[in-house]
Amino acid sequence: MRQNQQIRMQGAWSGLLASLTTLGVTLMMMALLAAATACGSPPALEAPVQDSFWSGVRTSKQATEVVEVPKVSGGTLQRSEVLDFLENGPATLLRSVPVTPVLEGDALVGYQIDDFFVNDSRFERIDLQRGDIVTAVNQDRLLRPEDLFAVWESLRAAPRLQIDVIRENTLRTLTWEIVDKKDPVAYSP
């Protein structure tokens, strides 16, 4: 009897952990993406990056290899805007950017964006879209809920926001510099 209870509890904890991870990643992505709206223009592609960790990744939703790894620069964000956004808390974000975990066998590849601020025109400039698979934020993979919260807190002092996504079998790195208001280049449209 006691062993059955332990097995049920382990299953419940596993389900809760998976739910928290998905919820946490959804919240983190929404916060990061909303903070990125402070940049003035959509990111432009730069030269490809070689030897990426994700080169050759196959996901359960993609049958071909990831073939390129271009970097994308999105401009700058003011730290005050990032902090204000983080202070709003993650609950308001949950409604705007739902995600689904993407697995390759038992390995987590990333989180696919199911929807992206569809009713909010402020986010039209952001180069993220439905179907993109977020693989890392600031070069940290989000595998457990504590990974999400560590990245969330690190954004308060981070020098940049960097989001790695797979789109159409191409890994893109979207980057926004985070600058303090005193900085003479505090905002670039």
Q: What is the CATH number of the domain that holds 149?
A: 2.30.42.10
- State the pLDDT at residue 85: 76
pLDDT the model gives residue 66: 57
pLDDT at 62: 44
Could you tell me the pLDDT band of residue 29, with boundaries at 50, 70 and 90?
low
Find where tokens 């569809």 sit. 118
User: Is residue 100 in some structural domain?
Assistant: yes
Rounded to 10 degrees, the C-alpha dihedral 50/52/55/60 comes to -150
The pLDDT confidence band at residue 68, using thresholds 50, 70 and 90, is low
Neighbour tally for 136: CB within 10 Å: 19
Is residue 189 one of the residues assigned to a domain?
Answer: no
Q: What angle do CA 45, 48, 52 make, to 5 degrees?
A: 125
What's the confidence (pLDDT) of residue 124?
62
| Residue 45 falls inside a structural domain | yes
- pTM for the model: 0.61
Where is pLDDT greater, at 138 or 128?
138
| pLDDT (mean) for 103-108 | 90
For residue 93, the model assigns a pLDDT of 57
The Cα 129–Cα 126 span in angstroms is 8
**Residue 189 clears pLDDT 90, i.e. is over it:** no
Hunting for tokens 């390995």 — which residue is that? 107
**DSSP code at position 36:** G
- 184 domain residue, yes or no: no
pLDDT at 98 over 60: yes
185 inside domain: no
Does 144 map to a domain?
yes
* pLDDT given at position 50: 37
- Return the DSSP state at 60: T
Tokens, residue 100: 């689904």
Q: Please indicate, yes or no, if residue 128 is contained in any of the structural domains.
A: yes
pLDDT of residue 138: 93
Range of 146's domain? 2-179
What the block records as the tokens of 47 is 């030269």
The answer to whether residue 101 is domain-embedded is yes
Token pair of 56 as six digits: 């050759």
Segment 161-185 mean pLDDT: 85
Provide the domain count of the chain.
1
- Is residue 177's pLDDT more than 70? yes
How many whole angstroms separate alpha carbon 5 and alpha carbon 160? 46
Higher-confidence residue of 69 and 38: namely: 69
For every residue of 84-142, DSSP letters joined together read: HHHHT-STTTTTT--EEEEEETTEEEEEEES---TT-GGGTTSS--TT-EEEEETTB--
